[in-house]
Structure 1
Amino acid sequence: MTNKELGKRIKEIRLKLGKSQEEFGKLFDPPAPKSAVSRWEHGGKPNKKRLVKIAELGGTTVDELVNGSLVDAINTLTSVLYNEYFEYLDYMSNEGTTWKSYVVSKASNSSAETNYTNMSQLFAFLEYDNFLNDRDKDNLGDYNRQNLIAGFKYCANEVLKIATSEGISPTDTPLLIRLFLDVETKHFSNMKSDNEGLFNTAIDALNTAISSVHNLVYGFDQKLLRKGSLGETKIPNTIDKEIYNEVNKILFTTRKQLIRLAEDNNIKIDKDIR
Structure 2
Amino acid sequence: MTSSPPSASPVAVVTGAARGIGLSTTQLFLEQGFTVVMVDRDAPELERVSSALSGTEPLVCDISEPDQVTELARELTQRHGRVDALVNNAGVADFRPLEETDYATWREVMATNLDGVFLTSQAMLPLLKAARGAIVNIASISGLRASTLRVAYGTSKAAIIHLTQQQAAELGEHGIRANCVAPGPVDTKLALAVHTAEIRAAYHDAIPLNRYGSEREIAEVIVFLCSTKASYVTGQVVAADGGFQSTGVGLPAMRNR
Which category describes the TM-score, using the shorter chain as reference length? under 0.3
TM-score by length of 2: 0.25
TM-score by length of 1: 0.24
More contact order relative to length (CA 8 Å, sep ≥ 6): 2
Q: Which has the larger radius of gyration?
A: 1
